[in-house]
């Protein structure tokens, strides 16, 4: 019977064969970097490929000191190291000790060229980005029906909101025909009136993700009326679809987090808004009720009937006060008038006595000056024909008619002779003056 070996024995044998091969222990391999990942431990896992084949590679953290640049997708490099068998998995890989950059790979060059062209056309501009609905209820998904991406999206969606409707378009996401399948999925779901679309797949190499770097896929996303979330690969994977989509998610799971709103959080927020609204409404209602009561009191206070009654009562009070004041004022005026009358009577009596005394005095004086009294003593009052008093002989001439009034009547006479006494008066004054002079001597 032929010998039977265990898997471990076979893998150990093959590993030993690789270890004894001088060419594999010191080898330099040229190829394009793909599926590059930096592990948290510091190791770098990547794939070297050309047009015909690919080989897995790893650079441990201890060997990274000689790496002068950041290893990225699409770089053309030369990796020096050894090809050995990983005994546990039974696969061989390159253990790189040194990596130098040789240039840019063909796929990466195509990626950069297309990215620059579309950016120049404005397809990445923020003004063309549509906002993602906050409360989407119909979510379309363009991805493979059997991949891990759709399962992650379903799990996240069920956890966040079991009432959201997920509609899957099972598309090819890898291979030559993948781009056409993805475009048909976008257009089909866009025509169905979805709230948002998730377009993507799980991680892989740049070749695996290349369908999402095709120009026709980018144009389909750009022309889609429904907001699109791109969820291609892992967080470090970047495709043209990520640039042109309305939002980029680092993973399909993250896309589900962005597209599906948390129902429990929504209910809690709604309850919070409800309570806040209820309290606010209650406060406003209480304030309006208070204001209504105040307005009612004011309306009652300013009621026309009440105003008329109050004014009527006020008018009656004023009339009563006025009547009392008038009576009081009349009594006061009556007393004052009586007092004034008594005082006035006293003043009149006093003034009458004084006037009576004065009249008697003036009467006696007038009686002493009365012409009639003088006439009664043998004198008369002489006037001319015009009743003008005659005081001197120069006022009449011979032949004038004069009137002579005496005590018991009037005598009319005609002047027959006029004798002037001025010469005798002058002689008398002259004699008196001479006597005065002699006396002084």
The boundaries of the domain holding residue 14 are 7-104
Q: Is residue 76 in some structural domain?
A: yes
pLDDT of residue 92: 92
Separation of first and last alpha carbons in the chain: 222
pLDDT at 376: 59
C-alpha 63, offset from chain centre? 63
Alpha helices by DSSP H, listed for 103-212, are: 106-121, 148-160, 178-191
Pairing of strands 381-384, 228-232: unpaired
Asked whether residue 128 falls in the same domain as residue 255, the answer is yes
The span from the CA of 138 to the CA of 197, in Å, is: 9
- How many CB atoms lie under 10 A from the CB of residue 96? 26
Q: Are residues 211 and 139 in the same domain?
A: yes
59 bridge partner residues: 44
354 inside domain: no
Q: Which of 261, 280, 306 is the last residue of a domain?
A: 261
Domain total in the chain: 3
In a domain, 285, yes or no: no
Do residues 148 and 237 both lie within one domain? Answer: yes
Of the listed ranges 287-296, 320-329, 418-427, the one predicted with least confidence: 418-427
Q: In the predicted model, is pLDDT for residue 430 greater than 80?
A: no
CATH no. for residue 65? 2.40.50.140
Q: What is the pLDDT of residues 33-45, one digit of tens each?
A: 999 999 999 899 9
The answer to whether position 52 is within a domain reads yes
- Residue pair 123/244 in contact (Cβ under 8 Å)? The answer is yes
Is residue 129 included in any domain, yes or no?
yes
Q: What is the pTM of this model?
A: 0.50
Both 140 and 217 in a single domain? yes
Tokens of 94: 């390159």
pLDDT of residue 434: 67
330 occurs within a structural domain = no
> Is residue 129 located within the same domain as residue 235?
yes
Measured CA to CA in angstroms, residue 142 lies from 21, 217, 257, 430 at distances of 48, 12, 16, 172
For the chain, give the percent of residues with pLDDT over 70: 90
Residue 90 gets the label, from left (phi > 0), alpha (psi -120 to 50) or beta, of left
Does one domain contain both 180 and 250?
yes
Same domain, 79 and 134: no
Give the pLDDT score at 441.
Answer: 54
Tokens of 218: 């980018």
pLDDT score at 397: 85
427, pLDDT greater than 60: no
Secondary structure of 297-361 in HEC code, one letter for each residue: HHHHHCCHHHHHHHHHHHHHHHHHHHHHHHHHHHHHHHHHHHHHHHHHHHHHHHHHHHHHHHHHH
pLDDT over 70 at 26, yes or no? yes
Q: What is the pLDDT of residues 272-312, one digit of tens each?
A: 989 999 899 889 988 988 888 888 777 776 677 777 777 88
Q: What's the average model confidence in pLDDT over 376-389?
A: 77
Same domain, 139 and 234: yes
| Exposure on the CB side of residue 367, measured as CA atoms within 13 A | 6
Q: CB pairs under 8 A, 24+ apart, for 386-389?
A: none
Share of the chain above pLDDT 90, in %: 37
């Amino acid at each position: 019977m032929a010998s039977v070996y265990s898997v471990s024995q076979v893998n150990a044998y093959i590993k030993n064969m690789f270890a004894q091969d001088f060419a594999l222990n010191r080898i330099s391999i040229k190829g394009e970097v793909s599926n590059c990942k930096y592990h948290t431990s510091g190791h770098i896992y990547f794939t070297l490929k050309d047009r015909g084949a690919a080989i897995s590679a790893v650079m441990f953290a201890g060997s990274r000191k000689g790496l002068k640049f950041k290893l990225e997708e699409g770089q053309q490099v030369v990796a020096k190291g050894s090809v050995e068998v990983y005994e546990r998995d039974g696969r061989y890989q390159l253990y790189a000790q040194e990596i130098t950059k040789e240039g840019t790979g063909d796929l990466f060059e195509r990626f950069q060229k297309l990215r620059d062209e579309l950016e120049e056309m404005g397809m990445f501009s923020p003004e063309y980005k549509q906002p993602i609905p906050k409360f989407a209820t119909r979510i379309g998904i363009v991805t493979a029906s059997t991949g891990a991406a759709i399962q992650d999206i379903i799990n996240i969606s069920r956890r966040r909101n079991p009432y959201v409707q997920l509609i899957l378009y099972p598309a090819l996401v890898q291979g030559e025909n993948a781009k056409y399948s993805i475009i048909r999925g976008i257009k089909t779901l866009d025509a169905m009136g979805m709230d948002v679309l998730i377009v993507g797949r799980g991680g892989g190499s740049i070749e695996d993700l290349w369908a999402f770097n095709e120009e026709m896929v980018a144009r389909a996303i750009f022309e889609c009326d429904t907001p699109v979330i791109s969820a291609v690969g892992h967080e470090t994977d970047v495709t043209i679809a990520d640039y042109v989509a309305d939002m980029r998610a680092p993973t399909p799971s993250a896309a589900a987090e962005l597209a599906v709103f948390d129902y429990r959080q929504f209910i809690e927020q709604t309850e919070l808004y409800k309570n806040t609204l209820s309290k606010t409404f209650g406060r406003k209602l209480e304030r309006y009720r208070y204001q209504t009561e105040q307005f009612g009191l004011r309306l009652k206070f300013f009621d026309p009937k009440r105003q008329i009654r109050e004014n009527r009562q006020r008018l009656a009070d004023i009339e009563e006060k006025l009547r009392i004041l008038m009576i009081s004022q009349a009594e006061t005026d009556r007393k004052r008038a009586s007092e004034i009358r008594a005082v006035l009577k006293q003043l009149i009596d006093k003034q009458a006595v004084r006037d009576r005394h004065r009249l008697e005095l003036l009467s006696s004086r007038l009686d002493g000056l009365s012409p009639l009294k003088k006439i009664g003593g043998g004198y008369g009052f002489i006037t001319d024909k015009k009743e003008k008093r005659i005081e001197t002989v120069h006022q009449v001439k011979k032949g004038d008619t004069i009137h002579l009034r005496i005590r018991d009547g009037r005598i009319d006479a005609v002047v027959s002779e006029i004798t002037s006494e001025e010469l005798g008066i002058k002689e008398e004054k002259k004699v008196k003056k001479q006597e005065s002079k002699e006396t002084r001597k």
